[in-house]
């Protein structure tokens, strides 16, 4: 296991350096931030002083290696816009995104496993057909379209929920609901398929022959063996939520790291963009490691 973790850490570190390289140079293509932060009539001396403070006067390659050198000392630089450490700004936003993703994925996993298992148990029946129909619609519905429709119906017309903010539990209903729909549809389909295979296996037939009731057969005997492919999809969807809640956070004004990245790109706050990429990529790396460990717990035949 230690060898496996070491190999994953090395490969992830190499990928992270490549990602930083790409984002660093692409972010510089957006232009000089001086014009955004200084008045139009600012003197050339003031502009040079601004660039000098933020290390923008050096050639790009020198800036990149200086940034890598600072990263080794865990110095992510200061936000140009906020004049505070970029990592502090990012961790505040990441905390909100982590809460949003945790609430959403908890609901998704709970309901997808229950509904998917029951659909597999009643395969071909009315419940299975309804669950399959709505899961396919949910899996193919684009987040931005669902978010706009939800705002128009539940906020503008009915006035049930606020359109932005985080002050009360009602502020979370629409963002969580919109993020819930797609992974719920995908995971429900995987659970249903895996459970149909598990429920037709010999050990389930043996359990039925021994007179074991349906609920233990579904949620104890069949579900454990059907979970391995489901965990892969859960991991992918959780990573997508951490990395891809940008649209939903922006539409609902949710102060997560996705909205922070969009705002920082528009404000050419390069250090915050890079710090956000670093934190998000590291979180996804840790989550993938945890999923691999969970694999070996569920199936003792898996060894690393």
Find all residues with CB under 8 Å of 63, minimum gap 6, and list them. 24, 28, 55, 56
Hey, what domains does the chain have and what are their CATH numbers? 1-80 (no CATH), 87-298 (1.10.3720.10)
pLDDT class of 177 with cuts at 50, 70, 90: very high
Closest by alpha carbon to 230, among 287, 184, 191?
Answer: 191
- What value does the CA radius of gyration of the chain take, rounded to a whole number of Å? 24
pLDDT of 216-274, one tens digit each? Answer: 777 777 777 777 778 878 877 887 777 667 788 888 888 888 888 888 888 888 889 88
Q: Which two tokens stand for residue 267?
A: 């404000």
The per-residue pLDDT of the chain, averaged, comes to 84
Closest by alpha carbon to 67, among 272, 268, 243?
Answer: 272
From residue 245, alpha-carbon distances to 39, 44, 249 in Å are 34, 40, 6
pLDDT for 46 equals 85
pLDDT of 115-146, one tens digit each? Answer: 998 898 888 889 999 999 988 888 888 888 88
* Residue labelled with tokens 């985080």: 166
How does 52-75 read in b/e, with b if 16+ C-beta sit within 10 Å? eebebeeeeeebbeebeeebeeee
CA 211, distance to chain mean position in Å, is 43
Asked if residue 111 has pLDDT above 90, the reply is yes
pLDDT of 67-88, one tens digit each? Answer: 888 888 888 888 888 888 999 9
Q: Which two tokens stand for residue 229?
A: 């492919």
Asked if residue 302 has pLDDT above 70, the reply is no
pLDDT class of 33 with cuts at 50, 70, 90: confident
């Amino acid at each position: 296991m230690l060898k496996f973790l070491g190999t994953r850490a090395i490969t992830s570190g190499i990928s992270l350096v490549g990602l930083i390289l790409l984002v660093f140079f692409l972010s510089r293509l957006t232009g000089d931030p001086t014009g955004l932060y200084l008045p139009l009539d600012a003197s050339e001396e003031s502009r040079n002083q601004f660039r000098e403070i933020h290390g923008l006067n050096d050639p790009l390659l020198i800036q990149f290696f200086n940034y890598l050198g600072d990263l080794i000392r865990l110095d992510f630089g200061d936000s140009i816009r906020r004049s505070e450490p970029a990592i502090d700004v990012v961790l505040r936003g990441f905390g909100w995104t982590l809460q949003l993703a945790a609430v959403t994925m908890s609901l998704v996993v709970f309901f997808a496993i229950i509904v998917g298992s029951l659909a597999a148990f009643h395969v071909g029946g009315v419940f299975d057909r309804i669950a399959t129909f709505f899961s396919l619609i949910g899996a193919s519905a684009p987040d931005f379209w669902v978010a706009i429709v939800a705002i128009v119906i539940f906020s503008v017309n009915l006035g049930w929920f606020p359109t932005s903010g985080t002050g009360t539990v009602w502020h979370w209903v629409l963002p969580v609901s919109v993020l819930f729909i797609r992974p719920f549809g995908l995971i429900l389909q995987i659970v249903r398929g895996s459970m149909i295979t598990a429920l037709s296996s010999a050990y389930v037939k043996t359990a039925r022959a021994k007179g074991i009731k349906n609920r233990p057969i579904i949620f104890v005997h069949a579900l454990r063996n059907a979970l391995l492919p489901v965990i892969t999809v859960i991991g992918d969807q959780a990573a997508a939520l951490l990395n891809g809640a940008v649209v939903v956070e922006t539409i609902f004004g949710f102060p997560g790291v996705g909205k922070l990245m969009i705002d920082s790109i528009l404000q050419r706050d390069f250090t915050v963009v890079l710090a956000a990429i670093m934190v998000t990529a590291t979180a996804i790396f840790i989550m993938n490691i945890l999923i691999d460990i969970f694999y070996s717990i569920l199936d003792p035949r898996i060894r690393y």
